[in-house]
Structure formats: structure tokens, C-alpha cells
């Protein structure tokens, strides 16, 4: 018996299907006349699908079930809505013990996937034939016995999300923002015009003298803001890979910092409190007229998608 197989006794009879046999010897002879030595029950319904119980009265030799009662359950593939449908189910097999007036219950604790490629699962070693056939054990009396199965279909997921980290834009998307007279800007924060990338609206926030009191007049702060985050659902996310740059007006020594973050309703802005010091900005990144140019390059913009069946 597998390490994931559990045995117990219960009083309640099988709820999905029961096979009551009046003469077990005749069943054995009937099974011997079949190709694989098995008996197929009629179809029964469980969990919205059609099933069939399979009984090997002398064991399934091909599945290491020789000298055991072997039992399986088969999904009727024609009851699947599409050929690619997969059904996860828990199944429990039963053998009535008349002496105990209870059912021996055997089941595998792991859910099994049923589909068009594998429609049969079961247990090759439900009960040793020697144990079953001994009348003293209570499983058979005057040739009469009873087998059964419960099939419990796991419900399909009702909520899920698809999160992709490789939905790269066809081309890296770049936005340029020239800012003139940066240190003459009135107000604490200077915000770019809004722009659309990846189906979302964005803006750049520039703090010429720093966004924190401790950094005031020492550092320049720059952030990328998702301007329409308020329209997101509570647990929806926008995964973004982007680069914020201050362009070098005299060459190619641009100052670049990456942003790899998930934006959501409560975290709509990511960036750097200390993007560049004010001294370095004045010495390196302002042109002859005291202006600078910011660039934002988007590589990935991917939104989690919550789906209902």
C-alpha cells in the first residue's frame, strides 16, 4: 500500500456508487472472460461529471495488484466540456465488512488529475484476496459482498491572477522632459505633463531641492508616478521595469537609475530621494542656459489580471 494511502472504518454507505454482488464467484468468472480481468460498472454522476467504477476481483497484475482486490475509478471523457479540461478529484473505495457492520474505507490523500490523456486512477492493493475471502473476516458471506466508491470533485478555482514579468514593450518607450530654470521653479514639487505607456497614465515628479527635510537644498529627488493608480482594484498591481535618467548635455555620461517595482493603489510612486546631489547637478548636468533634460525609458509594463470563470 502506498505511503499516501489511508484506511479507516465508517458506518455511512458510499454516496457516489455502490455495487452489491450476490455471487462473487460468478463475478470472478465474468471478469476472467474480459480482456483484462476486470468488471466495469455502469456510469454514475458525481461532481457534474460521469464516472465508472472498475473492479478487479482477482487483482490487476499489470499494476502490482496480484492477489489483491484492485479498484479504480474512470472519468467518462465525453462528459468533459472541452478536450483540454482537467478535473481534480478525491476518490475513496469501500468494502463492506458485515461483521463490523461498517465499511472499510481506503483512499489516497492526494487529489488526482483526470483528463483525456489519463482518465483512470485507483488503488491496485485495496485488500488482500486471502483476507477478503475468509468468511471469518466479515467481507464475504454466502458469496455476497459489497463494494463502493465516493468521488469528490474539487471545485475549479473561482479567482486567480495572471502575472507576467516578461511582457516587454515592442520597443523601449522613451519620454523626454526638458526642465528650464530648475532652481527658479516655484513650489516644492514640479510635475511633468501626464503621458500614456502600456495602457497606463504616468508622470514624473521632480523635487529640485529634495523631497525630505533632511535633504533640503542638498539633493534632487525624482520619482515615477502612476497617475491613475486610484482606478486600480485594491489588490491589482502594475509591474514596471523602467529607467530614470538625467541626460548629460555635453556627452554620453548620463546618470541612470533603474525602477523595478510593483505599483498599486497604496504605492503609486517609486523613485529616489537622493537621485543626484545639487552640486553634481550644477557641475555636470545643466546646459549653458541652466536647463536639464530628464528621460524615462519603459521596458516592461505588466498588469496583474484577476479572472473569474
What pLDDT does 117 receive? 93
CB-facing half-sphere around the CA of 248: CA atoms within 13 A: 9
What pLDDT does 182 receive? 87
Res. 164 pLDDT band, cuts 50 70 90: low
pLDDT over threshold 60, residue 128: yes
- Model confidence over 171-206: pLDDT tens digits? 678 999 999 988 887 678 999 999 998 888 999 999
Lowest mean pLDDT among 51-55, 119-123, 187-191, 305-309: 305-309
Strand, coil or helix: what is 286? coil
Cell matching residue 153: 470533485
DSSP secondary structure letters along 3-66: TTEEEEEESSPPSSEEEEES-HHHHHHHHHTSSSS-EEPPPEEETTEEEEEEEETT--GGGT-T
Q: How far apart are CA 92 and CA 193, in angstroms?
A: 64
55-80 per-residue burial string, b: 16 or more CB within 10 A, e: under 16: bbbbbbeeeebeebbbbbbbbeeeeb
pLDDT (mean) for 236-255 = 91
pLDDT (mean) for 283-289 = 91
Q: How many residues does the chain have?
A: 309
pLDDT (mean) for 130-141 = 95
Please give the sequence-ordered ranges of beta strands (E in DSSP) within 115-208, or none if there are none.
Answer: 120-128, 145-153, 160-162, 168-179, 190-191, 195-197, 200-207
- Model confidence over 21-40: pLDDT tens digits? 999 999 888 887 777 889 99
The number of angstroms, rounded, from the C-alpha of 89 to the middle of its chain's C-alpha atoms is 17
pLDDT over threshold 50, residue 309: no
Cell matching residue 305: 489580471
pLDDT (mean) for 262-282 = 92
Cβ atoms within 10 A of the Cβ of 306, count?
A: 12
What pLDDT does 308 receive? 47
249-269 per-residue burial string, b: 16 or more CB within 10 A, e: under 16: eeeeeebeeebebebbeeebe
What pLDDT does 165 receive? 57
Task: Report the candidate in 213, 209, 217, 221 with the shortest Cα–Cα distance to residue 246.
Answer: 221
Mean pLDDT for the chain? 89
Residue 59 region by backbone torsions, left for phi larger than 0, else alpha for psi between -120 and 50, else beta: left
What pLDDT does 4 receive? 76
What pLDDT does 302 receive? 81
Cβ atoms within 10 A of the Cβ of 214, count?
A: 8
- Model confidence over 96-112: pLDDT tens digits? 999 999 999 999 989 99
Amino acid at each position: 500500500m502506498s505511503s499516501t494511502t489511508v484506511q479507516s472504518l465508517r458506518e455511512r454507505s458510499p454516496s457516489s456508487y455502490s455495487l452489491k454482488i450476490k455471487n462473487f464467484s460468478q463475478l470472478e468468472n465474468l471478469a476472467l472472460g474480459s480482456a483484462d480481468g476486470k468488471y466495469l460498472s455502469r456510469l454514475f454522476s458525481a461532481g457534474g461529471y460521469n464516472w465508472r467504477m472498475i473492479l478487479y476481483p482477482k487483482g490487476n497484475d499489470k499494476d502490482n495488484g496480484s492477489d489483491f482486490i484492485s479498484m479504480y475509478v474512470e472519468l467518462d471523457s465525453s462528459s468533459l466540456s472541452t478536450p483540454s479540461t482537467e478535473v481534480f478529484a478525491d476518490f475513496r473505495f469501500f468494502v463492506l465488512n458485515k461483521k463490523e457492520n461498517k465499511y472499510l474505507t481506503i483512499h489516497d490523500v492526494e487529489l488526482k488529475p483526470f483528463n483525456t490523456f489519463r482518465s483512470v486512477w485507483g488503488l491496485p492493493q485495496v485488500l488482500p484476496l486471502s483476507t477478503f475471502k475468509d468468511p471469518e473476516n466479515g467481507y464475504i458471506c454466502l458469496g455476497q459482498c459489497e463494494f463502493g466508491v465516493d468521488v469528490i470533485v474539487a471545485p475549479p478555482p473561482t479567482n486567480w491572477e495572471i502575472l507576467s514579468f516578461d511582457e516587454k514593450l515592442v520597443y523601449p518607450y522613451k519620454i523626454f522632459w526638458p526642465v528650464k530654470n530648475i532652481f527658479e521653479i516655484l513650489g516644492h514639487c514640479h510635475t511633468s505633463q501626464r503621458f500614456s505607456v502600456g495602457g497606463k497614465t504616468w508622470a514624473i515628479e521632480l523635487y529640485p531641492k529634495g523631497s525630505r527635510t533632511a535633504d533640503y537644498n542638498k539633493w534632487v529627488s525624482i520619482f515615477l508616478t502612476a497617475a491613475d493608480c486610484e482606478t486600480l482594484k485594491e489588490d491589482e498591481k502594475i509591474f514596471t521595469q523602467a529607467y530614470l535618467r538625467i541626460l548629460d548635455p555635453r556627452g554620453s555620461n548620463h546618470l541612470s537609475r533603474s525602477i523595478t517595482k510593483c505599483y498599486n493603489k497604496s504605492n503609486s510612486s517609486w523613485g529616489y530621494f537622493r537621485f543626484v546631489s545639487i552640486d553634481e547637478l550644477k557641475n555636470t548636468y545643466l546646459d549653458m542656459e541652466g536647463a536639464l533634460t530628464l528621460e524615462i525609458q519603459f521596458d516592461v509594463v505588466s498588469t496583474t489580471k484577476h479572472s473569474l470563470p
